[in-house]
Structure 1
Amino acid sequence: MAKSSPLQGLYAARSHLSESDGLVLYHDRIVIPTALRPNVLDQLHEGHQELTKCRERASSTVWWPNIGLQITHKIAADLCELEGKNFLVVVDYFSRDIEIASLTTTTSRQVINKLKHMFVRWGIPLELVSDNGTQFTSSEFQDFKLSYGFTHTTSSPHYPQSNGAAERAVQTAKYILKQPDPCLALAKGMLQLRTLTDSSTTVDIQLVHFLSFPQARML
């Protein structure tokens, strides 16, 4: 089975899968289809439960490949400017993946639209960390946060380095964007990253991506 197949995670768990009354089960937990996972995650996180309680609830009721990582999913976002152009930079705390999106404006609406498209590929995070820029503190962004069910944490305005993951990602993004072929540079950078074991997570980054099973949400 090709690595890019969305069924790979299910195939790896095939010996634990069964069918009952039209439902696919992983042991005695219901296997949730890809399109429904954002809603299920929202329900699991309802009321801002503690992470342990959220995991306990998930472990007794529902399942899909890599559900544990998606429950703890945390990303950082920041804006950067290079040669008069603006970009949104997002980094995954766990895999250290970086995504760069060009912006025609730096309004909350455009930042939100870019994040929505990223969430389709990455899944909806449990937590998003950003600075205190107006794009992230507007009422529009707060509505977006509530609608998608993630926690928004802002770094201290007096100590912007507290969002260190985003700061490092911005520096990496600026280096990539200066290359003759930014898309190729980004692809090579991610390939090199995925051959390493990240010291802050003590896991093989290739394994993270091998196990990942992205969610989807209608935008």
Structure 2
Amino acid sequence: MIYHGWPEYSSDSPPDLKEYWTFREDVSVENGLVLKGHRLVIPDKLRPQMLNIIHQGHLASEKCQLKAKDCFFWPGISKDIKEMTASCNTCIQFSKQQPRETLFPHNVPSYPWQKVASDLFDYKGAQYLITADYYSKFPVVRKLQTTSSTYIIQQLKSIFAENGIPETLVSDNGSQYIAVVSSLHSVNHGESLM
């Protein structure tokens, strides 16, 4: 069908290929392998084996589906993964031990830079500091030379000198932020930012 063309109507397709008709434009052959986009199309006989491979770590249904979406495809793969994880005793036993974390809503501040969030992140091998205003959602990102507390404090003082000193700084309580809290406390009590 891929080489010679699909029929105009799904009902004219061979019975074992009808389920592929809706995405017929996405299916191709590469070196003798059938692909849907970049994913390998798995024949019926090999599907149980592929399900076992993606389920080896007893990941939850969503993670198994993400893993499968990178590699292979067949019609109804999501349903098959859900059924497999729902019937797995190990998955059932341990899924209840990791409940979803409760989200705590916050009040929107009255003015910009009243409440600010800050964190460190890594991108393409470099470390960055991000600071975001809860009121406007405006982010400030600085590339870091080092992640020492002293350097983080200097960068935050610079950001706060430009935008204002927040009443509240929200962080993940990383080790660098313990020193930041005491430093900012002294800034709020009259110490110069520079």
Q: Which has the larger radius of gyration?
A: 2
* TM-score relative to the length of structure 2: 0.40
Higher RCO structure, 1 or 2 (CA under 8 Å, sep 6+) = 1
